[in-house]
Amino acid sequence: MATLMRREIPLAITLLVGVIVIADYFVSIPAVNQTTNVLTSWGVVISGFAALLGVINVIKHNVGLIREQKKDYYYSVILLIIFVFMTLIGSIFTIKHPIYDFFYFNVFTPLAVTVWGMLAFWIAGAAYRSFRFTGIDSSIMLTCAILVMLRNAPIGAAIWGGFPPMGDWVMSVLNVATNRGITISIAIGVIAIGIRVLLGAERGYLGSSGGEEA
């Protein structure tokens, strides 16, 4: 009975819901479309409850850091203060209010863009470490990277007019061909894992109840 509840029934629900949602993509039957809409809305409701789990996790983790006075625990103090502040602002004034928008777009967005801006330095560090003539693979990668950089930077065309076409060839022939090959195999892999889940072969998400094969 326990196995039925913890394995067979969840697998049956997975198969049923999966087939309905997949069918919605291919058929124009009102009953299927409406059922999919209902199932999707249930998913949103469940996510709402899951958001509460996330909030508890964040608070618990940061309170723990403060209590144990771990390294840089003052960042956790700031986080919790801002968390309470924004929650109060959003609750009192709603998230569409100009006050909420002010803090979101004038505090959070600039911080997010700052992190994005650091990406250039991460790329430089990774390139410095990895672009070396240490073997055939890395040499090919370095050569292609140099060609593409000379294609993109105006100085490449200024040095020699042949660099942009070579860079274009690398991007439009080599790169596109490889990407398409990988993309096709990824698409098939996605379908395969979906079929495994729907047919009950992939049961890791069920935990201990689904792990053992019948």
Partner 1 sequence: MIALTLFIEGRIIQLVYLVIMVVIISYFLNTIKKENLPKIRQIPALDAIPEIVGRATETGRPVHFTLGWTRPEGLRGGNAATILAGLSVLSHLSNIVAEMGAELIVTLGSPDIIPVATEIIQDGYAAAGYMEAFNPDQILFFGTEQFAYISGVLGVIGRENIGSNVMVGPFAGEALMFAEAAAREGAMQLAGTQSVYQTPFFIACCDYFLIGEEVYAAGAYLSKEPRQLGSIRGQDASKILSLITLIIGSLLSILGNNFVLNLLNM
What the block records as the tokens of 70 is: 């771990």
Minimum Å gap between C-beta 199 and partner 1 is 6
Query: Residue with structure tokens 């029934």?
Result: 9
Minimum Å gap between C-beta 7 and partner 1 is 13
108 binds partner 1 per the rule CB under 8 A = yes
182 binds partner 1 per the rule CB under 8 A = yes
165 binds partner 1 per the rule CB under 8 A = no
Number of residues that bind partner 1 (CB under 8 A): 67
Query: What span, in angstroms and rounded, lies between the C-alpha atoms of 106 and 85?
Result: 15
Query: What span, in angstroms and rounded, lies between the C-alpha atoms of 113 and 108?
Result: 9
Residues in region 10-29 near partner 1 by CB under 8 A:
22, 25-29
196 binds partner 1 per the rule CB under 8 A = yes
Minimum Å gap between C-beta 86 and partner 1 is 11
Minimum Å gap between C-beta 205 and partner 1 is 6
* Structural contact between residues 66 and 76, judged by C-beta atoms closer than 8 angstroms: yes
Distances (CA, A) of 146 to 126, 137, 152, 189, 203: 15, 14, 10, 33, 46
Rank residues 24 and 150 by Cβ distance to partner 1 and give the closer one. 24
Minimum Å gap between C-beta 190 and partner 1 is 4
Query: What span, in angstroms and rounded, lies between the C-alpha atoms of 205 and 214?
Result: 16
Task: Provide the 10 A C-beta neighbour count for residue 149.
Answer: 14
What the block records as the tokens of 121 is: 């330095």
Interface with partner 1 (CB under 8 A), residue from 58, 66, 86, 146: 58
Q: Is 212 helix (H, G, I), strand (E, B) or coil?
A: coil
Interface with partner 1 (CB under 8 A), residue from 115, 117, 135, 136: 115
Rank residues 125 and 165 by Cβ distance to partner 1 and give the closer one. 125
Burial 155-180 (b: 16+ CB within 10 A, else e): ebbeeeeebbebbeebeeeeeeeeee
Residues at the contact surface with partner 1, assessed by CB under 8 A: 22, 25-29, 40, 43-44, 46-47, 50-55, 57-58, 60-61, 64, 70-72, 75, 108, 111-112, 115-116, 118-119, 122-123, 125-127, 129-131, 141, 179, 182-186, 188-197, 199, 201-202, 204-205, 207-208, 211, 213
